[in-house]
Chains A and B, each alone.
Chain A
């Protein structure tokens, strides 16, 4: 309704402003449309703010007046029962419940309806009054020399600022919640034990807190083995070579086909990669290890399977970052090298890649941070056993897998076991954040070097 009035206000103010135009000798400062926006915003924003605040206080006000009702005098004194009955009464009053469990609730329904009706009407009247008062104030200011444009622009700026703050505030909220749970965890388990311990078995601590079961080193190692070592061994050479081919050798036609296909690879949901890793790659690698290489301890959930598939997932990422960096190397540098009589491959190896290296390194760091935060592939293919092993055919587990393990299913959120998940999450967050900051810094420095 307020919006409707705002629309009407926009048109009337605009009309009035348009009529003003010919009257003054000078041209009006702002276009009629700005006057329209000015009045509409004045009308709508305070009213909507008031409505928001009012609806926050409304339940409290209603409840207070219900409690003053004679029917409320015989409510039980216990706080829990009281709120339960009041809640039922409210649900009955607005019709979302048809029969009450507590009889007392039925008695409160008329009081509830009366109170919410009363305050509702007050709210609407107050909102409308506020809207009209503010709208009238703004409407009276529509004059040729009134700087409506500047004011509307300022409001727009504030709206944009708030929009960008929301994302940042959410991030801060996430970090804060992680942080508090983590602090609670470290009150129970020593931080040294957590970071340097080599034994991880939190499932055994359901009934007793054994600090020895929260050594996260095997998880960190598993994460690094899969995300930073195996995946990168696959992704860096393949991604780099495909970028070199695409930027330096591929004819325009091939490039126009291959680049989108690579980008599609980046859009495949990670669950799908997970199936592929668990059902196709992992058994194949196990059979290969057992039959060809004679590694009898090969597991069907190997670090290698998860790492290789993750590497494939990361290829488009590395490739497109490397592609951008190579393309950002000035053509003059390539010409300079070719004019020296260098071949294409010498030019790429000795000039283009060294010149693009900071960008490529930045891309790889971003890829690593993505790989270590990746969850689905490792959940499906890497296994749960927290082994501290360098053998890629064995099963290892990662930080993300353990977080999933600790938090899925019915869990109470005050055991060390679940709190450990928050500590792991915080570590993961800090590591990926650092990697991202470093990577973006490197990439930025590189960009500046060529601008």
Chain B
């Protein structure tokens, strides 16, 4: 299979196969499904016919070389691509069996249910408290000050940040270290009590210690939220995820149990990538 054409053909053939091979999400409840999703930026096709299931109890990792479309696809899952005027999404993505691109779906509510954490920590230039309280405020989740305090505290505790910042909740969020800022962003996402949390390379701007803390946090959050994480770091995918999807050139090459995918990839392209032959 040195021939590129062969490889492509083979990939599309076995893609369906590998999905069938992957252990069905048995003990896991299905949270989101995507079917035949294409994304175009203007005339350029960024995602080609991707279908994937995302389970509630699992951490799902998207891996692949830069520009392979994994972040683009992630952004489809809470319609963040709507903010890019030239982006166009076709196909079907469902959350709890409801089409999220259906006109009846309100994007504000969708994003409250599917939260997102970005590559670079992006706390608002407000106090730590106000950063976390932002979501509950705009969605009217708290009716009283004490209720809001409680949500903020609970979210910070869950994000493992509370002990570090409890004495300075009213200091600026931008004064925290990079890792703390990223955990603040996670706390902010948790505060609106989402069902799914999308993380777009959440550790790529952090040092190894902060990265370890975030990974630990992802482990703690597993089961409470369906988590999808995009990462460049294959060790990270192996450490934090239960299921891994390998994207290449806008297509989903392989998707399966993380342990299987890393030890016994069924696709040559996957094998080449995880052994460091390219990407």
Do the two chains bind?
yes
Interface residues in chain A, defined as those with a beta carbon under 8 Å from any beta carbon in chain B:
251-252, 330, 332-343, 346, 350-351, 354-355, 449
Residue of A nearest to B112 (CB): A341
A251, B112: Cα distance in complex, Å: 27
Contact B139 A341 (CB under 8 A): yes
Task: Return chain A residues, CB-CB under 8 Å to B135.
Answer: 340-342
Residue of A nearest to B126 (CB): A354
Contact A335 B134 (CB under 8 A): no
Taking A341-B139, A354-B125 as known contacts, 5 extra A-B pairs with beta carbons closer than 8 A to each other, sorted by chain A number, are A333-B125, A334-B83, A337-B124, A340-B135, A342-B108
A340, B138: Cα distance in complex, Å: 9
Task: Return chain A residues, CB-CB under 8 Å to B139.
Answer: 341
B120–chain A nearest beta-carbon distance, Å: 6
Contact A341 B124 (CB under 8 A): no
Contact B134 A350 (CB under 8 A): yes
User: A332 and B120 in contact (CB under 8 A), knowing A338-B83, A339-B80?
Assistant: yes
A166, B113: Cα distance in complex, Å: 63
A332, B182: Cα distance in complex, Å: 13
B141–chain A nearest beta-carbon distance, Å: 11
Per the 8 Å Cβ criterion, residues 109-136 of B in contact with A are 109-112, 115-116, 118, 120, 122-126, 134-135
A333, B124: Cα distance in complex, Å: 6
Verify if B161 is at the interface (C-beta below 8 Å from A).
Answer: no
User: A341 and B118 in contact (CB under 8 A), knowing A333-B124, A335-B80, A355-B125?
Assistant: no
Task: Return chain B residues, CB-CB under 8 Å to A351.
Answer: 124, 134
A354–chain B nearest beta-carbon distance, Å: 6
Of A330, A341, A449, which is within 8 A of B192 by CB? A341
Contact A335 B83 (CB under 8 A): yes
Q: 10 closest Cβ contacts across the A-B interface?
A: A341-B112, A341-B111, A339-B116, A332-B122, A336-B122, A340-B135, A355-B125, A341-B108, A342-B138, A346-B138
Digitize B259-274: 1 where CB-to-A-CB distance is under 8 Å, 0 elsewhere.
Answer: 0000000000000000
Contact A340 B189 (CB under 8 A): yes
Contact A339 B115 (CB under 8 A): yes
A169, B108: Cα distance in complex, Å: 59
Task: Return chain B residues, CB-CB under 8 Å to A338.
Answer: 80, 83, 111
A409, B115: Cα distance in complex, Å: 71
Task: Return chain A residues, CB-CB under 8 Å to B112.
Answer: 340-341
Contact A341 B138 (CB under 8 A): yes
Contact A340 B109 (CB under 8 A): no
A337, B192: Cα distance in complex, Å: 12
User: A339 and B111 in contact (CB under 8 A), knowing A346-B138, A350-B134, A350-B138?
Assistant: yes
Verify if B185 is at the interface (C-beta below 8 Å from A).
Answer: yes
A346, B138: Cα distance in complex, Å: 8
Contact A340 B115 (CB under 8 A): yes
Question: What are 26 A-B contacts defined by CB distance under 8 Å?
Answer: A251-B85, A252-B85, A332-B122, A333-B124, A335-B80, A335-B118, A335-B122, A336-B188, A338-B83, A338-B111, A339-B80, A339-B111, A339-B118, A340-B111, A340-B112, A340-B115, A340-B135, A340-B138, A340-B189, A341-B107, A341-B110, A342-B108, A343-B138, A351-B124, A354-B125, A449-B174
Of B78, B122, B138, which is within 8 A of A333 by CB? B122
Of A251, A330, A341, A346, which is within 8 A of B122 by CB? A330
Task: Return chain B residues, CB-CB under 8 Å to A342.
Answer: 108, 134-135, 138
Residue of A nearest to B136 (CB): A340
Best-buried of A330, A338, A350, A351 by chain B (most CB within 10 Å): A338
B210–chain A nearest beta-carbon distance, Å: 18
Contact A343 B126 (CB under 8 A): no
User: A341 and B125 in contact (CB under 8 A), knowing A332-B118, A346-B138?
Assistant: no
Task: Return chain B residues, CB-CB under 8 Å to A341.
Answer: 107-112, 135, 138-139, 192
Contact B134 A340 (CB under 8 A): yes
Residue of A nearest to B174 (CB): A449
A358–chain B nearest beta-carbon distance, Å: 10
A365, B115: Cα distance in complex, Å: 39
Per the 8 Å Cβ criterion, residues 137-192 of B in contact with A are 138-139, 174, 185, 188-189, 192
Residue of A nearest to B120 (CB): A332
Residue of B nearest to A338 (CB): B83
Best-buried of B108, B109, B185 by chain A (most CB within 10 Å): B108
Residue of B nearest to A332 (CB): B122
Task: Return chain A residues, CB-CB under 8 Å to B122.
Answer: 330, 332-333, 335-336
A341, B140: Cα distance in complex, Å: 12
A332, B139: Cα distance in complex, Å: 21
User: A336 and B83 in contact (CB under 8 A), knowing A341-B109, A341-B138, A343-B108?
Assistant: no
Task: Return chain A residues, CB-CB under 8 Å to B192.
Answer: 340-341
Task: Return chain A residues, CB-CB under 8 Å to B120.
Answer: 332
A383, B274: Cα distance in complex, Å: 80
A252, B85: Cα distance in complex, Å: 10
A150–chain B nearest beta-carbon distance, Å: 44
Contact B118 A336 (CB under 8 A): yes
A342–chain B nearest beta-carbon distance, Å: 5
Residue of B nearest to A357 (CB): B125
Contact B124 A355 (CB under 8 A): yes
Contact B124 A336 (CB under 8 A): yes
User: A336 and B185 in contact (CB under 8 A), knowing A341-B112, A341-B139?
Assistant: yes
A354, B110: Cα distance in complex, Å: 26
Task: Return chain B residues, CB-CB under 8 Å to A332.
Answer: 118, 120, 122
Task: Return chain A residues, CB-CB under 8 Å to B116.
Answer: 335, 339
Task: Return chain A residues, CB-CB under 8 Å to B189.
Answer: 339-340
